Amino acid sequence: MRSLVVAETENGRVAKATLRVIGAVMQQGLPVDLLLPDAALAPSVEKIAGVERVLVMAGEANEELVPETLAAQLHALHGSYSLIAASHRTLGRSALPRAAALAGGAFIPDVIAVEGEGAFVRGLYAGSVIAHVSSASAVTFATFRASPFAPVADSGGNATRVMLEPVARFARTKLIERQASAQTGRDLPNARIVLSGGRGLVSKDNMDRLGHLADSMGAALGASRAAVDAGYAPNTAQVGQTGKIVAPDVYLAFGISGAIQHLAGMKDSKTIVAINKDPDAPIFSVADIGLVGDLFEVISALEAHVGAG
Ligand code: FAD
């Protein structure tokens, strides 16, 4: 049997998250194919390392791909695959359960590790419970949290291109418009260093200052939901259960208490540094390095060190 990964695109290229999902799926040791909704990207996608075939969706449906149409395409293909995978983002989360229902297969969301063929690890209850799940279905549909997995190289491969027959477009929903949300600073999910601010920053000006420090350090800016709700940081910066999930090499949390919903988005970071004036703050339970003290003193010291401010 084979595995199929749904390719997502961003800024005219294959999303880094897709490269990570391919890396995850390869751990099963099965041949990997890629389903590409955007034919224009086929020449670059064929070079992704380790991919054997690129299946290119055809027809006008691809330009305004809705989950129902993608689900129909996956249903049409599922007989050749034991695993159909996508990143745990909006499109995959919407399309794969539908495809699983059509095909009568299992759906496993939010996979964080692969244990073997059909065997996965996923988080439950905002990551506070880790479940080991194995599928008894002939075909399993799974969405992968991208950040725990290393991406494959986007060059060096030589996949075969296969043009697919068009599937009927789902007529009852229509994509009217896409609006990219304002992106500030570096790409948060793929950053190696994240500086994240919470309610302890007290103002938007202070969050902007943290963002400036992040820029100087080559880091991305993150925020807690409380900081986002207070208007200190944009929605796109939110880390956590209802925000972005990150696993950088270093995550520095400034004035973040460490609510379970925040930890769900960052606790897989390789090194966690927490700065909080409250020694009992729950963030210290996941921190590798904890600093009990005033965050503004630490920001000033870091600014002096990197020459920012
Ligand atoms: P607080 O909990 O108020 O903590 C502020 C911290 O700053 C305190 O620990 C304080 O000691 C410290 N502090 C204050 N001043 C200083 C200083 N000068 N120096 C050092 N430390 C200082 N939250 C998320 O973050 N992401 C999510 O995705 C998310 N999703 C949610 C989903 C649901 C369904 C629900 C119910 C909640 C969700 N939340 C989420 C909210 C979450 O429960 C917390 O309310 C939120 O994370 C708290 O943000 P905070 O740590 O910035 O604020």
ipTM of the complex: 0.99
CA 216, chain centre distance (Å): 25
281 lines ligand 1 (CB under 6 A): yes
The answer to whether 260 is a known ligand-binding residue is yes
- 95 marked among binding-site residues: no
**What is the Cα–Cα distance from 246 to 189, expressed in whole angstroms?**
5
Q: Taking CA 110 as the corner, what is the angle to CA 25 and CA 281, rounded to the nearest 5 degrees?
A: 130
- pLDDT top residue among 170 and 35: 35
- Which tens digit of pLDDT belongs to each residue from 166-189? 888 888 888 788 776 655 567 888
Asked if residue 300 has its Cβ within 6 Å of ligand 1, the reply is no
Structure tokens at 274: 């927490």
The helix/strand/coil state of 220 is strand
Per-residue model confidence (pLDDT) at position 225: 97
- pLDDT value of position 185: 66
For residues 275-281, average pLDDT: 98
Whether 63 shows a pLDDT value over 70: the answer reads no
Residue-level pLDDT at 307: 81
Asked whether 269 and 292 are in contact (CB, 8 A), the reply is no
User: Is 258 marked within a binding site?
Assistant: yes
Of 16 and 102, the structure prediction assigns the larger pLDDT to: 102
User: Residue 146: what pLDDT?
Assistant: 83
CA dist list (Å): 23 to 36, 96, 124, 221: 17, 19, 23, 26
Nearest to 144 by CA among 116, 120, 118: 120
**pTM, full prediction:** 0.76
For the Cβ of 196 lying below 6 angstroms from any atom of ligand 1, the answer is: no
Q: For residue 178, give the 3-state DSSP assignment.
A: coil
As a whole number, the mean pLDDT across the chain is 92
- Answer yes or no: is 245 a known binding residue: no
- pLDDT of 309 higher than 70: no
Residue among 114, 111, 108, 135 nearest 122 (CA):
111
What pLDDT shows up at residue 162? 96
Q: What is the mean pLDDT of residues 265-285?
A: 96
pLDDT for 190? 79
**Pocket residue to mutate for ligand 1, from 195, 201, 261, most atoms within 8 A of Cβ:** 261
Distance CA 152, CA 26 (A): 9
CA 298 to centroid of ligand 1, rounded, Å: 19
| Residue of 80, 93, 59, 84 whose CA lies nearest to 170 | 59
Q: Among 145, 206, 267, 277, say which to mutate for ligand 1: greatest number of ligand atoms within 8 Å of CB.
A: 277
Judge whether 257 is annotated as a binding position. yes
Predicted pLDDT of residue 181: 62
* pLDDT tens by residue, 127-164: 778 899 999 999 999 999 887 899 999 999 999 999 99
The residue contributing the CA closest to ligand 1 atom 37 is: 261
Instruction: Name the band, by pLDDT with cuts 50, 70 and 90, for residue 78.
Output: very high
- What are the structure tokens assigned to 147, written together? 């950040």
Alpha helices in the chain (DSSP H): 16-26, 42-45, 67-77, 90-103, 204-216, 225-229, 260-263, 295-306
> 267 in ligand 1 pocket by Cβ < 6 Å?
no
From the list 82, 105, 89, the residue with the least C-alpha distance to 29 is 82
Specify whether the CB–CB gap between 91 and 6 falls below 8 A: yes
According to the model, what pLDDT value does residue 43 have?
A: 93
Q: What is the mean pLDDT of residues 210-220?
A: 95
- Asked whether the predicted pLDDT for residue 61 surpasses 60, the reply is no
Bridge partners for 220 per DSSP:
194
